[in-house]
Amino acid sequence: MQTAPLSRYLSLVPSSVMVGVFFAIPFVMILLTSVSTPAEDVDYRYAFDLQHFERFLTWFYIERALFSAGLCALIALISLLIAFPFTYLLTTFGPRTQTSWLIYILAQLSLSEVLIAFSWQILLSRTSGIGNIIAWIGITEKSFSMSPSAGAVVAALVYLAVPFSVLLLFPALSRLDKSLLEASRTLGASPLRTFFTVVIPVTRPAIISSGVTVFVLTLGAIIVPQVLGRPEHWTLSVLITDQAIFNFNMPFASALAVVLLVLSASVIVLVTRYAGGAKS
């Protein structure tokens, strides 16, 4: 605490301006638009009109919101189930192996959602997809298509999310005090028991933050549900895009975006309070 308070505050100015300009102002505009009122001569006027939220309050949109939350929670869970054991094992290897793997995983992040969605579409198609391999092995008689389907959406979203999970878990797992594991083993616990009773509790904050990040991240996925899913698998984000781009109903799109924001914010608050805060 050697720096004077004023200069400390001054050093905050550039980042605050950036956050203000690029985050707070658009956010306020979305809020204002979501309560705007339709007008004859222009698209809408700023007012305090809750009709767009009333429109949301039908079972269809509520069900879509719940579905989106459920889907993203499932994706977060599956990615953790894949990423955690992988990352844990990775930390037991030497630094060279770790670095190569991390570079490989980082490279995955450069693939856009669009690219991933369309690649999976080809992978799951009847004519050029893995259906051909299954038919060739002889499990099925003919090749078949696996998309659009719920499974296709889940597979592609998990593919999208796993690199994030790994990268978020890696620091905690690599800093894990190995003497804890040795102590556990010395006291006679099996590797499996050590894993569940020592490794997981110790790295719980990382697990939670990784899960929450993946949840929020997949909540914003648009292309994957749209390309690989049927309409019943479309998330709230897809509906927002529909309203904003195709129906050009900005107020309703904004209202849905606010709902999505409230949804993700409450999940973050709930999870960090009841899961993260209880750590010993």
Partner 1 sequence: MSHSVSRRRFMGTAAATGALALAAPSIARAAGGPIKVGTYGGFFEESFKEFIYPEFTAATGIEVQSIAVPTGETWLVQIKNAARAKTAPADVSLMAGTPRNEGAGQKIFKSLDESKIPNLKNVPDTFEDRYDDGALFGVGAVSWYITLCTNSDEIPEAPDSWAAFWDEQYKDKIGLLGLASNSYLLEVTAVTHFGGTDILDTKDGIQQVFDKLSEVVPNVRLWYKDEGAFQQALQDGEIPMGQYYHDVAGLAASEGFPVVSTFPKEGGILDSGYWIVPEHAKPVDEIHEFINFMSTPETQASLSRNVGTAPVIDPALTDLTKDELAAVSSPKAPIIPRYDIYQDHADWISDTWNKMIAG
Residues that bind partner 1 (CB under 8 A): 40-43, 55, 58, 60, 64, 114, 121, 125-127, 145, 148, 223, 226-227, 230-232, 234, 239, 242-243, 245-249, 252
For residue 105, the SS3 value is: helix
Is the Cβ of residue 82 or residue 150 nearer to partner 1 in the bound state?
A: 150
Q: Considering beta carbons, is residue 95 or 231 the nearer one to partner 1?
A: 231
- Classify the C-alpha dihedral 156-92-85-270 as positive or negative: negative
Smallest distance, Å, CB 241 to partner 1?
9
* Residue that is written with structure tokens 């904050």 in the block: 205
Specify the residue, 149 or 209, whose C-beta has the smaller distance to partner 1. 149
Q: How far apart are CA 263 and CA 280, in angstroms?
A: 28
* Among candidate residues 258, 232, 278, 186, the one with its CA nearest the CA of residue 63: 232
> Which amino acid would we find at residue 61?
Y
Name 29's Cβ contacts closer than 8 Å, sequence gap at least 6: none
Residue 45 bridge partners (DSSP): 37
CB of 248 to partner 1, least distance (A): 4
Q: In whole angstroms, how close is the CB of 65 to partner 1 at the nearest point?
A: 13
Q: Which is nearer to partner 1, 86 or 234 (CB)?
A: 234
Minimal distance, residue 232 CB to partner 1, in Å: 5
